[in-house]
Amino acid sequence: MRLATWNVNSIRARVDRVTDWLARADVDVLAMQETKCADDQFPTMPFAALGYDVVHHGHNQWNGVAIASRVGLEDVQLGFDSQPAWEAAAEARALAATCAGVRVWSLYIPNGRTVGSPHYAYKLEWLAALRDNAQKWLADDPQAQIALVGDWNIAPTDEDVWDIEVFKHSTHVTALERSAFTAIVEAQYADVVRPFTPGPGVYTYWDYTQLRFPKRQGMRIDFILGSPALAQRVTHAEIVREERKGKSPSDHAPVLVDLN
């Protein structure tokens, strides 16, 4: 089984790129983030033409998460228990489905905007609630195959950004955000991609401005975290950097794992 995650940065603008890659990469399950559309606007037909069922959670032109699967979509869940909300706004940031026995969570963690802002506090609260739920899922079933995948908006180590000095006063790299990410890892959810993609300069996101991509000035902020039962099945992982190239790309690259 090949499982992938991709912040597509508007699925309506990039559906052809996404479905073309799905066919070429032979992906079984794709979790998407930042779809930027309501449920009735999601372009399901191109996915259906390739044999994928799709479930989507979105309200408007912001946020939005989806899962496309050709190996089944069962027990769909919108959000997790006690998931924080941003004031009164409806946000679509978490979606789960069971695909061939794997519980896949497509996650779009809040950005945080600026350190110390209400958005930053919301991000930390959101991550804490996710950790609590993730711990409970494994306590209920230690053998559960769970994949927490998506755009985490956190660079867990200094080598996950092209120049830590540029980011030292920004979100994504603060001690509190990194601690929140580490807390989920310590809840027995391993970063199953990094062992196959080690070293500095290995990124998943490059800003559109200032030629960040050709200059290799990026960040590693997209991750697949696997429960123990899932992690032991991983035989290969990669960041598909080539998909950041070409006409009208997303600013993120897909990340994938193969499971035996």
**Residue set of the binding site:** 7, 34, 151, 153, 251-252
Phi-psi region of 84 (alpha: psi -120 to 50; beta: other; left: phi over 0): beta
Q: Which of 56, 57, 172, 252 is catalytic?
A: 252
- Reading the block at residue 87, the tokens are 């004031």
151 is catalytic: yes
Show binding-site residues for Mg(2+). 7, 34, 151, 153, 251-252
Alpha helices in the chain (DSSP H): 11-25, 44-49, 118-140, 164-167, 175-186, 228-231
> Which residue is catalytic, options 56, 57, 108, 191?
108
CB-count burial class (<10 Å; 0-12, 13-18, 19+) for 183: middle
Q: Which one of the listed residues 151, 160, 191, 222 is annotated catalytic?
A: 151
**Token duo for residue 153:** 């908006």
How many C-alpha atoms does 201 have within 13 Å on its Cβ side? 3
Backbone dihedral angles phi then psi of residue 228, each to the nearest 5 degrees: -55, -45
3-class SS at 64? coil
108 carries an active-site annotation: yes
Q: Which tokens go with 131? A: 């950790």
Question: If we measure between CA atoms, which residue out of 206, 183, 1, 208 comes closest to residue 98?
Answer: 1
* Encoded tokens for 77: 């869940």
Retrieve residue 172's tokens. Answer: 């994504």
> Active-site residue numbers?
108, 151, 252
